[in-house]
Structure 1
Amino acid sequence: MNCLDLFAGAGGLSEGFRRCGFNIVAHVEKDRAASLTLKTREAYYYLKKEDRLNDYINYISNKITRDELYEMVPEKILNKVIHEEISDETYKNIFNDIDQKLKNKKNNKIEIIIGGPPCQAYSIAGRSRDPERMENDPRNYLYLQYLRFIKYYKPNYFVFENVMGIKTAKDGTIFEQIKKDMIDLGYKIDHKVLNAKDFGVLQSRKRVIIIGWQEHIDFKYPKFPDCNSEYTIKDLFEDIPIMQAGDKVSFSEQSGLVNDCLKDLHIKDDDFNYLLQQEIRPNREIDLEIYRMCVNYWNDSQKKLKYNELPEKLITQKNTKSFLDRFNVVPGNGISHTVVAHISKDGHYYIHPDIKQNRSISLREAARIQSFPDDYYFEDSRTAAFVQIGNAVPPLMGEKIAMVIKKAIKLNSNKSNKY
């Protein structure tokens, strides 16, 4: 079941599809840091399959360099990652690259295309910051590049993911045009707003998911079973040591049993009991004082402390009438609010629930909230890693979507074999 991953980011969606047995033919991604993350993940899977996971552990524990890691992996594995922006100038070269990868395969059919164009032009927050409300942003039309791949490869299925704002961009006209263009290519489509928390992810994260399938295929948009988790953020962070703002654990071996939460959410297993990229940004003392107040207020009332409710000495912004929820606690006794790429700017919206630690959440904690496994390494700087995590589709959500499509493929294959 060959799968093509477009606008791949750090690979959250393709991670879910890979778990269900799909063969990722290629990831196409323009961002350098995300492309390196994808390459490192490909290296992980190759070395694991070859029973050489220690080579990967040597890399993430800084015993060998990235170049030394990549030298251990066949070029054809690393070349699955196409570091290229999809544009009018590049798409033909990308087609050629993918065609070469398919050339010698017994099955050279792309079964499914997954991904979603960058969402900044559709984001409601992005539109609120732009004086032109993203009206003239060329990223409004990146979906046309996605459709080029649909038209060329004619997959049986596709999954198109994007933010809620795509439905209202340009008063809804873009979303209507996207659906029309998909239908014109010979596909039946349906869409729903899906929330990651309903797939077991410990985060409320709503996304528009369009699924398309060729007209001759007997398929309809699935009703996904509710998988609301009984676990909480406290369970998710249980094995992470107490740390303070500015602390950093690049890599450490952990002792003790892995709790049920981490096993069930595919965060950790007994074969990989390591903690990596537990990096916490430093803070000014004024921010830490605000954090303490926010956590105490949340623990006492289960409510957010608004910016204009802070003591006057802690208010440094002139605007006290809007954006009042700029400080936000991740609740220990529940699930997180949506993790977004802005977490790379500061941690004010993601304050750790433990008053003893008085800090924002770490890279690894953000990755866990997004359901990335602990063996997933995010390349480049802390800032770049936070951006990748905030932009990703939670792998656990991707896995549940992939499961349903896999069943449909098998069912239709069995029907075809009867005739």
Structure 2
Amino acid sequence: MKDVLVIDLFAGPGGLGEGISSCTDESGNKPFKIGVSVERESSAHKTLTTRAFFRKIKDSEKARKDYYKYVRGSITRDELFLLHQEEAQSALAETLHEPRALGKDNELIHKRIHDLVKGHRGPRIVIGGPPCQAYSLAGRSRNAGIKNYKAEEDHRHFLYKEYLQVISIAQPEVFVMENVRGILSAKVDGEVMFPQILKDLRNPGLVTETDDVLGYKIYSLVVDADDPKDPQYINPSDFLIRSEFYGVPQARHRVILLGVRDDIDAIPTTLNKSDQYPISVESAIGDLPALRSGFSKKKDDVKDWESTISENAIRLNRILRISNDQELVEKLNLAPLSSLNRKATLHSNFQSATIPTPLKDWLLDKDLNYVLNHETRGHMADDLLRYAFCAAYALLNNGTSPKSRDFPNQLAPKHANWDSGTHADRFRVQSANKEATTVTSHISKDGHYFIHYDPRQCRSLTVREAARLQTFPDNYFFEGTRTQQYVQVGNAVPPFLAQQIGKVVMKLLGNY
């Protein structure tokens, strides 16, 4: 089929664009070509540009080797780009050379989109999700604590109108819009916003006051359409995609809308559920090198860490005996693994990965033989004991993470609301035998919700482990500080899910 121009908005580190641009047609060609990716946050923009560069050099064995040298730290990014100047300049142009924000840099962004559309004779697709802080349940909880906060004055509620503006300019055959499930219930002035958002997306030209803009039918990707022209044809919750049913090792529930231009006489298919359910956390990350945590409040030393974990094992055994949980004491080996590092680079064990196909083929790079962004954070010594308890509890209780009521009194943190039930799952282990809970940007704050299932490692997940659960390929390199990397991963669309959406769009455009 003809090349499809992709306009990627609110791109983050590029998960949605990565998945869609990876789709191949029957001839083995990749029709989706990203023309522009717009992202305002600097570290995510740098990741986005690095990945754009990788896609452009992917078929060159020499260039790939140079890329591996960069991500392994042998050469700098500037040196890499100097070695492959044409591809580097193309990648920089794709991401507008620097971070750009819709609503702030519209003149430059809109001109770039105008130029791309004018010079392209094939189909077009707009993808992306307006920032979700104003819609997410956590974000709304934070907003409720802000004095004199008014939702109607929060510009983030209306960033989807920037999306409408681009649709009015590009007039794509198809658009894909993603957001958190909280968008279904978010309110402004007491009114639920989602019905108005759907109405606006069906008639973008009316909202942007742009003439000669066709309307759009809005489809669910998981529920067959009866009559998409009827605003009442579908329950809003039918736009919710449960990623764990589609080959993602994570219970990530997101609203994804598929808009099809009114003149397109074709109906999209829905996503096919995977026969691999659930894909467990252990199968997704179990081949990655074991690591130890560090200390956040004192000097980090491996011998000190091993001593602390050994003492914690003794204390935990004693606590468990006090609580008459002898079965747990007998079954679990809580002694720390010796000689662990806090960071791993070599990944010679990837052949042993138990990731089911096709996700395994998607994630692994046999030429990389290296693990990127795999470094632990530091934790308070008392929390290390709680982490060990959580992991041990889950192992004994078929993967169930303990609630606050399950904690022995000796392990209760000194929080005023610990017994209130408000934060019953303040400590949550990512159980080995289940899919992960939703990886969110909160993973950048602390690791309490993302405890590794192995009590001997006694730590939270690394960026790479979170990226695996989000289905980013192993050769996807995240730029910025570790905190920034966590935020990027937590905010992204799983690329493996995005690829499946791309296949639905490709089939639709092929039929059209």
Q: Secondary structure at the match of 2:378?
A: coil
Aligned equivalents of 1:12, 1:228: Cα separation in 2? 23
Q: CA RMSD in A?
A: 1.9
Q: Structure 2 stretches of 5 or more lacking a match?
A: 24-29, 205-214, 221-238, 295-340
Which amino acid is 2:388 matched to?
A: R
Q: Secondary structure at the match of 2:75?
A: coil
Of 91, 94, 97 in structure 2, the residue corresponding to residue 77 of structure 1 is: 91
Look up the match of 1:229.
276
Stretch deviating more after TM superposition (122-131 or 71-80): 71-80
Q: Secondary structure at the match of 1:304?
A: coil
Q: Secondary structure at the match of 2:250?
A: coil
Stretch deviating more after TM superposition (277-286 or 237-246): 237-246
Look up the match of 1:271.
367
Look up the match of 2:71.
60
Which amino acid is 1:399 matched to?
A: Q
Aligned equivalents of 1:45, 1:402: Cα separation in 2? 17
Distance 1:402 1:313, change over 3 A: closer
Instruction: Tell me if structure 2 keeps the 8 A contact 1:110–1:154.
Output: no
Look up the match of 1:182.
201
Stretch deviating more after TM superposition (239-248 or 401-410): 239-248
Distance 1:50 1:194, change over 3 A: same
Q: Secondary structure at the match of 1:257?
A: helix
Look up the match of 2:404.
307
Aligned equivalents of 1:43, 1:155: Cα separation in 2? 25
Look up the match of 2:240.
193
TM-score (norm. length: structure 1): 0.92
The C-alpha deviation readout for 1:71-129, integer Å capped at 9, x for no partner, is 22421222101320100x421221112334556x5x34561100010000000111112
- Count of residue correspondences: 409
Shift of 1:275: 1.1
Aligned equivalents of 1:56, 1:206: Cα separation in 2? 34
Q: Secondary structure at the match of 1:70?
A: helix
Stretch deviating more after TM superposition (271-280 or 158-167): 271-280
Look up the match of 1:334.
434
Which amino acid is 2:71 matched to?
A: I
Q: Secondary structure at the match of 1:409?
A: helix
Shift of 1:2: 0.8
The C-alpha deviation readout for 1:293-341, integer Å capped at 9, x for no partner, is 1112212224332235432554221112112111101111121010000
Q: Secondary structure at the match of 1:251?
A: coil
Look up the match of 1:317.
415
Shift of 1:229: 2.1
Shift of 1:195: 1.0
Instruction: Tell me if structure 2 keeps the 8 A contact 1:5–1:26.
Output: yes
Q: Structure 1 stretches of 5 or more lacking a match?
A: 413-419
Shift of 1:46: 2.1
Shift of 1:249: 2.8
Stretch deviating more after TM superposition (363-372 or 268-277): 268-277
Of 226, 233, 238 in structure 1, the residue corresponding to residue 286 of structure 2 is: 238
Q: Secondary structure at the match of 1:252?
A: coil
Distance 1:120 1:257, change over 3 A: same
Aligned equivalents of 1:39, 1:47: Cα separation in 2? 13
Look up the match of 2:142.
129
Aligned equivalents of 2:150, 2:136: Cα separation in 1? 10
Instruction: Tell me if structure 1 keeps the 8 A contact 2:37–2:95.
Output: yes
Instruction: Tell me if structure 2 keeps the 8 A contact 1:158–1:212.
Output: yes
Aligned equivalents of 2:453, 2:411: Cα separation in 1? 24
Instruction: Tell me if structure 1 keeps the 8 A contact 2:177–2:256.
Output: yes
> If each structure's strand is expressed as a fraction of its own residues, which one has the higher value?
1
Aligned equivalents of 1:354, 1:27: Cα separation in 2? 39
Look up the match of 2:227.
none
Structure number with greater Rg is 2
Stretch deviating more after TM superposition (195-204 or 292-301): 292-301
Which amino acid is 2:384 matched to?
A: L
Aligned equivalents of 1:144, 1:229: Cα separation in 2? 38
Aligned equivalents of 2:168, 2:38: Cα separation in 1? 17
The C-alpha deviation readout for 1:30-54, integer Å capped at 9, x for no partner, is 0100100011101212222232111
Distance 1:331 1:409, change over 3 A: same
Look up the match of 2:483.
383
Look up the match of 1:417.
none
The C-alpha deviation readout for 1:175-232, integer Å capped at 9, x for no partner, is 1111111112311113411111121000011111111111121233532211152542
Percent of residue pairs bearing the same amino acid type:
37
Shift of 1:140: 0.3
Instruction: Tell me if structure 2 keeps the 8 A contact 1:202–1:229.
Output: no
Stretch deviating more after TM superposition (368-377 or 222-231): 222-231
Aligned equivalents of 2:78, 2:13: Cα separation in 1? 19
Shift of 1:250: 5.7
TM-score (norm. length: structure 2): 0.76
Aligned equivalents of 1:227, 1:110: Cα separation in 2? 29
Of 124, 138, 149 in structure 1, the residue corresponding to residue 155 of structure 2 is: 138
Q: Secondary structure at the match of 1:160?
A: strand
Of 362, 365, 372 in structure 1, the residue corresponding to residue 465 of structure 2 is: 365
Aligned equivalents of 1:224, 1:100: Cα separation in 2? 33
Stretch deviating more after TM superposition (260-269 or 202-211): 260-269
Look up the match of 1:291.
387
Aligned equivalents of 2:405, 2:415: Cα separation in 1? 10
